[in-house]
A and B are shown apart, each in its own frame.
Chain A
Amino acid sequence: MIPCDLALIAELTHRCPLHCVYCSNPQELAARTNELPTDAWSRVFREAAELGVMQLDLTGGEPLARPDLSALVQSARDAGLYVSLITSGLPLDEKRLDELLAAGLDHLQLSFQGAREQSANEICGTKAHAQKLRVLDWLKSRRVGVTLNFVLHRGNLDQLDEMLSIAESSSASRVEFAHVQYYGWALRNRGNLLPTREQLMHSLDFFKNAQDRLLGKLRIEYVVPDYYAKFPKACMGGWARKAMLLTPSGEALPCHAAAVIPRLRFENVMEKSLREIWESSDAFQKFRGEDWMQEPCKSCDRRTQDFGGCRCQAFLLAGDASATDPVCSLSPLRSKVDAVLAEVAAIPAANAVVEPSWLYRPNPA
């Protein structure tokens, strides 16, 4: 049976006032003119609830770039969904925040590029950090679930203490520390982002101590960079098992990065119902279950836990989307990943940036 404790990730727009060097949006950004209108999203939210979706993440780009965001929150709540807003906090003011809460927003996840203004702003190519601190202040006097999300990389791993203090002095009940994952823009900036092994080990100790100390006060979750792991992550909880992502123009993908895989055909919610797409679209069926697997995954005991790792990473690093994820120590191509790590280990200063220039994510037309 296809499990139905599903999450829907709705990329409402690819427009964004920030330009993060590790943005998870695709290289080819959807133009504003192709974005789904309000009523199409509202219909999709109702279809999602009928399909068994409970959690809806409104994300982007920056969802606040859509003037109809409050109406979308309202229609998702009316459909019975739990509504999270994943936002950079720009452009937001107290009036708009109150409108979103009145519309029924359940949870707001505010993303941070670091704890220090200058380095955070360098990563997103915008003066954004001070505004995020203002948003945290506004949230203190309002009732809504709050998560802070810190994206970690070589250049900010020395700021963990400061990041945690920002979280502790806020009204957040949850904080996510997420090491950058290397797809799209992040892959192109990987040389400057990948942490050293020492940095990574230190961060793991830090998270464990923080979890113990703050148990019952702050839920702390972290994602490790899989390049340093022995086994891959169970990407998206397995292909087409737990989540579905919709692009601004309504294409349905099994994950953020799936568009990098050649010859995968994505269906559009303007042409088919969400249920039809979930149950039978080619892109969802392609790597569902185990039939597509090759050795060593095919006969490996861990295949029901990690599902052979990430299909997009397999394509990006092995050139074959059905290969074992090359970050797996059992993959014949693991040496490719080790070679990248060796380059990082050879950089003298831990947080040195190899090239002084970043490749910034642009804005769509």
Chain B
Amino acid sequence: MTPDPSSRPHLAPGCRLGENQGNRVLLMPERALRLSGPSLEIVNRCDGKHTIAEIVADLQKLYSKAEPKKVEQDILGYLQLLHDQRALDFAS
């Protein structure tokens, strides 16, 4: 399943950003993911306002040296992963 590009991902209940010894982390029930670079850029935009298409466009600009198609695939894969861990909801 691939997420719909017009949907607006946001953190699921019980998930939020936090900080631990200088690192940004995504906190969720019984788990914490360390965020940096692209993963942080992506999760920062999962605010229910940005669409997936907008997140992709933003990161393609930010990482303009990378192959745009590859950037898109990585983002979709990462969002899907967070969604399957119940850290993200895709609201349209």
- Partner-B contacts on A (CB < 8 A): 4-5, 52, 54-55, 80, 82, 84, 106-107, 109, 143-147, 171, 173-174, 215-219
Contact = CB atoms under 8 A, between A and B. Distances in A.
B13 A55 contact: no
Contact of B29 (A52, A107, A218): A107
Contacts of A107: 14, 29
Interface of A is mostly: loop
A216 B1 contact: yes
B19 interface: yes
A152 B84 CA distance: 25
A170 to B, nearest CB: 12
B45 interface: no
Contacts, number: 60
Given A5-B32, A106-B27, A147-B29, A218 B86 contact: yes
Interface in B74-92: 83-86
Nearest to B25: A54
B16 interface: yes
Contact of A145 (B20, B29, B84): B29
21 contacts: A4-B21, A5-B32, A54-B18, A54-B20, A80-B20, A82-B16, A82-B18, A82-B27, A106-B16, A106-B27, A145-B12, A145-B14, A145-B15, A146-B14, A147-B29, A171-B13, A173-B12, A173-B13, A173-B14, A174-B30, A215-B84
B85 A219 contact: yes
Q: Which 5 A-B pairs have the closest CB atoms?
A: A145-B14, A173-B86, A82-B27, A107-B29, A107-B14
Contacts of A171: 13
Contacts of B16: 82, 106
Size bin of chain B's contact surface? 20 to 34
B90 to A, nearest CB: 9
A173 B18 contact: no
Contacts of B21: 4, 52
Contacts of B32: 5, 54-55, 82
Q: By CB atoms of chain A within 10 A, which of B12, B27, B30, B83 has the most?
A: B30
Contacts of A147: 29-30
A84 B27 contact: no
A144 B25 contact: no
B12 to A, nearest CB: 6
Contact of A84 (B15, B25, B29): B29
B65 to A, nearest CB: 32
Interface string B1-40: 1000000000011111011110001011110100000000
Contacts of A54: 18, 20, 25, 27, 32
B19 A80 contact: yes
B37 to A, nearest CB: 19
Contacts of B83: 216
A144 B12 CA distance: 9
Q: By CB atoms of chain B within 10 A, which of A54, A109, A143 has the most?
A: A54
Contacts of A55: 27, 30, 32
Nearest to A4: B21
Given A4-B21, A218-B86, A145 B13 contact: yes
A173 B32 CA distance: 16
B68 to A, nearest CB: 27
